[in-house]
Structure 1
Amino acid sequence: MEHSVSYIFDDKLLEHCDKLPPVKQRASMVHALIESYELLKYMNIIPSVKATPEDLQLFHSSSFVKCMKESNDLDLDDVNEEQIEFGLGYDCPPFENIFETILTIAGGSLTAASRLVSEDTKIAINWCGGWHHAQRDEAEGFCYVNDIVIGIEKLREKFKRILYIDLDIHHGNGVENAFAFSKKVFTLSFHKHEPGFYPGSGLLSDVGLGNGRGYSCNVPLKEGVSDYSLNYLFKIICPQIYEAYQPEVVVVQCGSDCLNEDPLGQSNLTLDSLGECIRSILNWNKPTLFLGGGGYNLPNTARLWTYLTAIITGQDKLISMDIPDNDFFLKYGPGYELPIVKGNQKDTNDKTYLDCIIKTVKDNLKKYDVKSSL
């Protein structure tokens, strides 16, 4: 039976994503929970097609691709100055078969984008994608390849106006930088912005450059953002941007490190607020690509992306709040439930600050005359 949702999955994709140093076994944990909730039967399962080195150059430089290829069998101890220059080491350490992994990750999002371009699906999901920090010439922030930009470049074969929405707790700097000078991709990032918090970019005043000025929007959040604050901003800002820009396709990065209990994100959010964001996007009824991203509390990442899969497939009102038996069941203790509790940090994003952001975004859309005609 054909469904309107395509789910990118195959064993090789999981195998390679399970090797990524900061999130080992996460891909398998996510897939196992989705499978245990019997959500696969509501989607078309599409095996990914590995990208080629030429595909990587839809965004990355030839010298970066060459360096990654030559680093395929590198040991951490073997890293030289050239590899360090291209970002290998520190938060992106080399590992065995790294180039094959990069090609496989990029291939997952390319496969998803291709389904939308060919109109074989209305919605595509690739939870193995969403690596938004990688730059044209540099691996960065646990991201060895920017599969998002590569996927968007594929979408540009068909769609003239693409809206990119980033829900990760970290600023989507790699994607914004890639399209900073373009009106053909509008980038919108909700993220924490505090002194010392990675990557340190994404100010409210950062609105794009040159011909693309006004076509980037950043929503910098203070410590302790709550479900209320995120949804208050999202439900006002997103419709304003949507109405002004009139996108033909939407790409959503659903990083789960914004959830409570994430060791890097340190935020208050629960599944509820992210779910409301996704429902709002689905109501636009546009071709949409949903991607993963950050998420370093692995059970909570699996909870979120499973819950979002249920929303996307229309099954969220029917699934059990008790975690079904699966290969990683013991990781969900002690409660073994799907929901997560909200954090108890003080939300320093008061209404005055939230309204200031909303006013600035609205003024910028008018100031830079953001519109659908290109």
Structure 2
Amino acid sequence: MGICSFLEQVTLRVVCHSKEIGEREGKYYAINVPLKDGIDDASFTRLFKTIIAKVVETYLPGVIVLQCGADSLAGDRLGCFNLSIEGHSECVKFVKKFNLPLLVTGGGGYTKENVARCWTVETGVLLDTELPNEIPDNEYIKYFSPDYTLKTQNGNIENLNSKSYLSTIKVQVLESLRCIQHAPSVQMQEVPPDFYIPDFDEDEQNPDERVGQHTQDKQIQRDDEYYDGDNDNDHNMDDGL
């Protein structure tokens, strides 16, 4: 999803059911997108952009933590998707465009040469640097044979994610987001981050204006909080002090 004083946490991950949306006070604060085997770049990035754009609009996060697991790439030893590195990194580009404080971490990945490729390309994306596709000679070059290139191609696993299935998942997720927008106890508003420091010099302020009106009002005692004694001494004596 601290850098801000109030941060809504959003989890977008591949799980078994889209109805896993959190419980109790955390209800609707988890968004899960269950994807079937073989999803490709076009389907994945389209769904990712639609959901993440709505997430940011709804939660107004002060910071985003993006985990770039590489096990969703085609050819991963344990993965089952058809994503290329270009499709994977397109999601990083999209999140970066929100221009919010962004912490990017690694994640899963069980074909080590593709993990290295992925994180290299996406580091370039974060630094607005276009990297050449040809990998220069280095002591680990043998791992990148036979083509010695940085970017990978799509896989050829059958895509079991039909358009109707992805549409259903999208509708369910967007409906969950609408629920939190209308929850009576939740008022979403943008909050300045903790590192924000107002641009003023306290020494130059009028001493009578340094304490805000709201703070002054909080210091006023209510009439029913006073004791019946004539002065503080009477009050103390009554308490046996």
Q: Do the two structures share a fold, i.e. TM-score over 0.5? A: yes
**Residue 290 of structure 1: aligned partner:** 104
Do the aligned residues in 2 keep the contact of 1:161 with 1:372 (CA within 8 Å)? no
Do the aligned residues in 2 keep the contact of 1:161 with 1:185 (CA within 8 Å)? no
Report deviation, 1:368.
2.7
2:94 paired with 1:249: no
Percent of residue pairs identical = 34
Higher Cα radius of gyration: 2
Report deviation, 1:274.
1.2
Do the aligned residues in 2 keep the contact of 1:225 with 1:347 (CA within 8 Å)? yes
Do the aligned residues in 2 keep the contact of 1:257 with 1:265 (CA within 8 Å)? yes
2:178 paired with 1:366: yes
Deviations 1:51-73 (CA, angstroms, capped at 9, x unpaired)? xxxxxxxxxxxxxxxxxxxxxxx
2:151 paired with 1:339: yes
For 1:329, give the aligned amino acid.
I
Deviations 1:229-288 (CA, angstroms, capped at 9, x unpaired)? 111101111101110111000001101010011101122110111111011111000111
Give the ranges of 4+ consecutive aligned residues of structure 1 lying more than 2 Å apart after TM superposition: 368-374
- For structure 1, list consecutive stretches of 5 or more residues without a partner in the other structure: 1-151, 163-183, 192-200
Do the aligned residues in 2 keep the contact of 1:254 with 1:293 (CA within 8 Å)? yes
CA distance in 2, matches of 1:340, 1:366: 37
For 1:298, give the aligned amino acid.
K
For 2:132, give the aligned amino acid.
S
Report deviation, 1:369.
2.3
2:32 paired with 1:187: no
Report deviation, 1:291.
0.4
**Residue 226 of structure 1: aligned partner:** 40
CA distance in 1, matches of 2:171, 2:6: 24
Do the aligned residues in 2 keep the contact of 1:263 with 1:296 (CA within 8 Å)? yes
For 1:332, give the aligned amino acid.
F
**Residue 214 of structure 2: aligned partner:** none
CA distance in 2, matches of 1:296, 1:240: 31
Deviations 1:10-47 (CA, angstroms, capped at 9, x unpaired)? xxxxxxxxxxxxxxxxxxxxxxxxxxxxxxxxxxxxxx
CA distance in 1, matches of 2:6, 2:9: 6
Report deviation, 1:358.
1.1
- Structure 1 160/219 Cα, relative in aligned 2: closer, same or farther at 3 Å? farther
Q: How many residues align?
A: 186
**Residue 329 of structure 1: aligned partner:** 141
Q: Which has the higher strand share?
A: 1
TM-score by length of 2: 0.73
For 1:308, give the aligned amino acid.
E
The alignment yields a C-alpha RMSD, in angstroms, of: 1.7
CA distance in 2, matches of 1:267, 1:358: 19
**Residue 66 of structure 1: aligned partner:** none
**Residue 18 of structure 2: aligned partner:** 204
Q: Looking at both structures, which has the greater relative contact order when contacts are Cα pairs under 8 Å and sequence separation is at least 6?
A: 2
- For structure 2, list consecutive stretches of 5 or more residues without a partner in the other structure: 192-241
1:349 to 145, 151, 161: 161
Which SS does the other structure have where 2:71 is aligned?
helix
CA distance in 1, matches of 2:9, 2:158: 35
